Amino acid sequence: MILVTGGAGFIGANFVLDWLAACNESIVNLDKLTYAGNLENLTSLRDNARHVFVQGDIGDRALVDDLLARHRPCAVINFAAESHVDRSIHGPAEFIETNVVGTFNLLEAVRAHWSALPADEQETFRFLHVSTDEVYGSLGPTDPAFSETTAYAPNSPYSASKAASDHLVRAYHHTYGLPVLTTNCSNNYGPLQFPEKLIPLVIHNALAGKSLPIYGDGSNVRDWLYVGDHCSAIRRVLEAGRVGETYNIGGCNEKTNLDVVNTLCAILDELHSGSPVTPHARLITFVKDRPGHDQRYAIDASKIERELGWTPSETFETGIRKTVAWYLAHQDWVNHVTSGEYRSWVSRNYADTHA
Ligand code: NAD
Ligand code: DAU
């Protein structure tokens, strides 16, 4: 039995589905079901006795204590977070509440639980914290990629809150001996991603014939990793990662935002050729830049490859094609998640974004 937090969100749900398909251990899935958490992501598990879903907050100490005592998980994997940079700019408070205070609360509960375990269970227990490459800040065009020893320099309220949580996790290992692992991953894409993030937002808008908003001049660079590869990396770190270590995870796929959007448009032209808005690239619109927009992220993933033998399975070309095909085949899912709160977010974020 493992305890996963945030397992109804994009990466967490992909992780839960992959885990239950790949191994015999059961999962307790604790998720608050914020706007980003969606039980529809887990419908295929409705009759699966190996998946126990609990709606709740990682900041609820009594609930977390109870789950740890009742299920006695051999590992806790912390995906739960507020994850969208633009939302952190509009309203940072929830990012501090969940990403910093929530993680602190979880660590305190796990520390109390772990301290009371028999020695053999203490030895094998793991707390794996899922973090981001954004904690390292922004790179210039010729700077070397982020390694595990790059100094932290977070630039947004989101990345600062994740950096704070990473530091707490590190401190719980050094001070209390808690057996922690931290992963810092680059930009994920794939099925089940909420259409506030660049790739699903562009697919969603293109299918609706709406403009495709590119912040600034579109030259910002991100390293893209297919979500299934992130999940396999986390499984591998959990299985064989050295306690107290951090592992960078990336896809070796540096792309400008303009390249990503043009690639999406070309795939849509091909897979959705009957659309009245072909070529989709004519929907591209340059809008006002994100405040404090990091210019470039790049990941040096040589440590996880060298120590744990992990490499990604998908190239950007195979992963992005699968992703577009998934969104085309799951328009119902998109329609459900883009009703209600989504609309007010879009009108808030893009109200005044003309360049
Ligand atoms: P997401 O926003 O899609 O999902 C977050 C999930 O956490 C949701 O299901 C939400 O309901 C849940 N949640 C939020 N606050 C909670 C709380 N207080 N208690 C319990 N559950 C809560 O995020 P994601 O993109 O799946 O990211 C998951 C994790 O991976 C985050 O920690 C994020 O920082 C990290 N990460 C994301 C990316 C990426 O590209 N998306 C890359 C690297 C790391
Ligand atoms: O690097 C890992 C991080 O990647 C994760 O930690 C975050 O949780 C995740 O949201 C992601 O952050 P980004 O800010 O890089 O992702 P996003 O999809 O929001 O934006 C990707 C790039 O596209 C970024 O340079 C901003 C730009 N962008 C985004 C949106 C939503 C646009 O040009 N237009 C848009 O409308």
Strand-pairing partners, residue 28, are 3, 52
Alpha-carbon torsion, ordered 254, 258, 259, 260, to 10 deg = 80
Distance 173 CA to ligand 2 centre (A): 31
Residues in Cβ contact with 117 at an 8 Å cutoff, skipping those fewer than 6 apart? 125
58 lines ligand 1 (CB under 6 A): yes
Whose structure tokens read 């990345």?
159
12 lines ligand 1 (CB under 6 A): yes
Residue 171 in this model has a pLDDT that exceeds 60: yes
Q: Are 147 and 248 in contact (CB under 8 A)?
A: yes
Cα(244)–Cα(181) distance, integer angstroms: 5
Distance 65 CA to ligand 2 centre (A): 34
Q: What is the pLDDT of residues 283-341, one digit of tens each?
A: 999 999 999 999 999 999 999 999 999 999 999 999 999 999 999 999 999 999 998 88
Check if 133 is active-site: yes
Burial class (CB in 10 A: 0-12, 13-18, 19+), 343: exposed
Cα(275)–Cα(94) distance, integer angstroms: 39
Question: For residue 46, is it within any domain?
Answer: yes
- Measured by CA distance, the residue closest to atom 19 of ligand 1 is 57
**Consecutive H or E run containing 298:** none
Check if 196 is active-site: no
Cα(238)–Cα(56) distance, integer angstroms: 24
What integer pLDDT is reported at residue 355 of this predicted model? Answer: 52
| Mutation probe of ligand 1 site: the residue of 38, 61, 79 with most atoms within 8 A of C-beta | 79
Q: Which one of the ligands is nearest to 6 CA?
A: 1
List b or e across 194-231, with b for residues whose CB sees 16 or more CB atoms inside 10 angstroms.
bbbbbbbbbbbbbbeebebbbbbeeebbbbbbbbbbbb
Question: For residue 126, is it within any domain?
Answer: yes
> 3-class DSSP state for residue 146?
strand
Domain total of the chain: 1
Question: For residue 82, is it within any domain?
Answer: yes
Tell me the backbone φ, ψ of residue 7, rounded to 5 degrees: -80, 10
Nearest-CA neighbor of 48 among 10, 7, 87? Answer: 7
**What is the average per-residue pLDDT within 273-281?**
91
Distance 213 CA to ligand 1 centre (A): 23
What integer pLDDT is reported at residue 350 of this predicted model? Answer: 94
Structure tokens at 188: 């994920």
Residue 105 in this model has a pLDDT that exceeds 70: yes
What integer pLDDT is reported at residue 273 of this predicted model? Answer: 84
Question: For residue 28, is it within any domain?
Answer: yes
| Mutation probe of ligand 1 site: the residue of 5, 11, 156, 168 with most atoms within 8 A of C-beta | 11
Banded pLDDT at 354 (limits 50, 70, 90): low
Angle between helices 257-271 and 198-207 (to 10 degrees): 40
Question: For residue 201, is it within any domain?
Answer: no
- Measured by CA distance, the residue closest to atom 15 of ligand 2 is 187
Q: Is the pTM of this model over 0.95?
A: yes
Whose structure tokens read 């899922």?
130
Question: For residue 38, is it within any domain?
Answer: yes
Question: For residue 70, is it within any domain?
Answer: yes
Banded pLDDT at 353 (limits 50, 70, 90): low
Question: For residue 321, is it within any domain?
Answer: no
Q: What is the mean pLDDT of the chain?
A: 97
**What is the average per-residue pLDDT within 186-208?**
98
Q: Active site residue: 136, 158, 172, 350, which one?
A: 158
CA 258 from chain centre, in angstroms, equals: 22
Structure tokens at 155: 């630039």
Which of 33-47, 136-150, 340-354 has the least mean pLDDT?
Answer: 340-354
Identify the domain containing residue 149 by its residue range: 2-190+224-251+296-313
CATH of the domain at 307: 3.40.50.720
Q: What is the pLDDT of residues 81-97, one digit of tens each?
A: 999 999 999 999 999 99
What integer pLDDT is reported at residue 310 of this predicted model? Answer: 98
Question: Which DSSP symbol is given to 42?
Answer: G
Q: What is the pLDDT of residues 209-254, one digit of tens each?
A: 999 999 999 999 999 999 999 999 999 999 999 999 999 999 999 9
Check if 158 is active-site: yes
